[in-house]
Amino acid sequence: MTSATSVLPDAVSTPDAASDRERHFWPAVWALGVGSFAIGTGEFVIMGLLPEVAQDLGVTIPQAGHVITAYAMGVVIGAPVLAVLAAEWPRRALLIALMALFAAGNFASACAPGYVTMNLLRLMTGLPHGTYFGVAALMAASLAPPNRRASAVGLVMSGLTLATLAGVPLAAWLGQHLGWRAAFVLVGAIAALACALIRRGVPDVPAAHGASPLRELGALARPQVWLTLGISAIGFGGLFAVFSYVKPLLTEVTGLSVDSVPLVLALFGLGMVLGNLAGARLADKALMPTIGWLLAWSVLVLAAIPFTAPYTIAICVNVFLLGTIVAIGPALQIRLMDTAGDAQTLAAALNHSAFNTANALGAWLGGVAIATGHGWTSTGWVGVLLAFGGIAVFGASLWMQRRMRARGEAHA
């Protein structure tokens, strides 16, 4: 089994190499975190500016929502394609190129003349998303001690979670006062800053020895890679089944005013930040148990939604706890690194394709439940079913792991 430290040259085990890792760790994590902050802001800000986008482009709000889908499609397509094509690139150069493409996509989105062009540009902007996070996670893990890899990944991912607290509200405020195009200019500027910080703070590391597109594709032949992606795509979908419809849930069921919804959503963002950091620490101590227990935690949090929704304080606490479900993210990222062998770049990038699949799956199934007349709270039960689905896939992964271990012992 190959760990994420294979991103670094072969001399990582020497004392000098360990010291060099420590010296580069915080500048690299800071730079990579700014990049994830830019991506998080760019991904989510459009959701709060759909009415303005629709009016300016001359389409309905549901049609304007297609730009969100276009971005998600870009993530799903771009993660495996770019990871394979850029397998032999030096890691820092690849990270800069990915972030530069993201910056260019946002600057171009700010200039989009029409609806079709805007969708194409959002598709392009989403292409580097998954590969950036995958390579950034590998880089951060390679610079950390072996027992702190998940924490290092969590620090990089904290930029994404912090974006929900600071970046998205700032960009949304800017978009509402200066026009939605200004929000994308801000995101492009943050991404450009990340390029400069990565150039300065991330060590110039070559691709792993023997890296090639063919070797990266080898990850797709590993059943444990697919099972881990299944946990992400199914088990994580419960979060999006609820969160996609949380605004009407709060206004129609809880009875909150529209003006108070952003305050409740800030609790969700706070839950994401704390959950991400806590989940990373737990994963460092016990990776597989952390995944299992966090899936069980998801069931409890999602099952509480129908019961807490009518009560203001209770639903506020529940929305905060809903954000903590992202705690499973760093653990799944490390699990993919550990199961991918020599094809870690593709596997790490595919994790974010799986998350976006979870987003689409959860939102769709939640919408089906609402459309069939089961009400806004039914999304909680949809989430529970998806979380149990993730537990089932996790159980299959454990069963296969134990079976393979038993076979190895029998042949020893």
Instruction: Please name the residue that has the structure tokens 């394979």.
Output: 84
d(CA 381, CA 309): 13
Please name the residues in contact with 342: beta carbons below 8 A apart, sequence gap of 6 or more: 2, 6, 208, 210, 211, 215, 218
Tokens of 289: 């148990």
8 Å CB contact between 338 and 347: no
Nearest residue to 2 (alpha-carbon basis) of 224, 162, 153, 179:
224
Tokens of 306: 């129908």
SS3 at position 222: coil
pLDDT surpassing 80 at residue 17:
no
Q: What is the mean pLDDT of residues 160-178?
A: 83
Q: What is the mean pLDDT of residues 285-304?
A: 94
> Between 131 and 410, where is the model more confident?
131
Q: What is the mean pLDDT of residues 240-263?
A: 85
pLDDT of residue 19: 60
How many other β-carbons are positioned within 10 Å of the β-carbon of residue 168? 25
Q: Identify the band that residue 6 occupies on the pLDDT scale cut at 50, 70 and 90.
A: very low
Q: What is the mean pLDDT of residues 320-324?
A: 94
Question: Which amino acid, 333?
Answer: Q
Nearest residue to 225 (alpha-carbon basis) of 325, 345, 109:
345
pLDDT of residue 86: 85
Q: How many helices (H) and strands (E) does the chain have?
A: 19, 0
Question: Which amino acid, 233?
Answer: A
8 Å CB contact between 104 and 42: no
CA-to-CA dists, residue 327 to 245, 321, 362, angstroms: 21, 11, 18
Please name the residues in contact with 386: beta carbons below 8 A apart, sequence gap of 6 or more: 234, 235, 237, 238, 241, 361, 362, 365
Domains of the chain: 1-210 (1.20.1250.20), 212-412 (1.20.1250.20)
> Between 147 and 392, where is the model more confident?
392
pLDDT surpassing 60 at residue 302:
yes
The sign of the dihedral angle between the CA atoms of 286, 292, 298, 304 is negative
Q: What is the mean pLDDT of residues 327-336?
A: 89
pLDDT of residue 12: 43
Give 190-231 pLDDT, tens digit per residue: 999 999 999 999 998 876 666 667 677 777 778 898 999 999
pLDDT of residue 9: 43
pLDDT surpassing 60 at residue 40:
yes
pLDDT surpassing 50 at residue 10:
no
d(CA 273, CA 355): 17
Please name the residues in contact with 119: beta carbons below 8 A apart, sequence gap of 6 or more: 66, 67, 70
Percent of residues, the chain, with pLDDT higher than 70: 91
Q: What is the mean pLDDT of residues 294-306?
A: 96
User: Which DSSP category does 370 fall into?
Assistant: I
8 Å CB contact between 114 and 57: yes
d(CA 298, CA 304): 10
Question: Which amino acid, 291?
Answer: I
Q: What is the mean pLDDT of residues 390-397?
A: 95
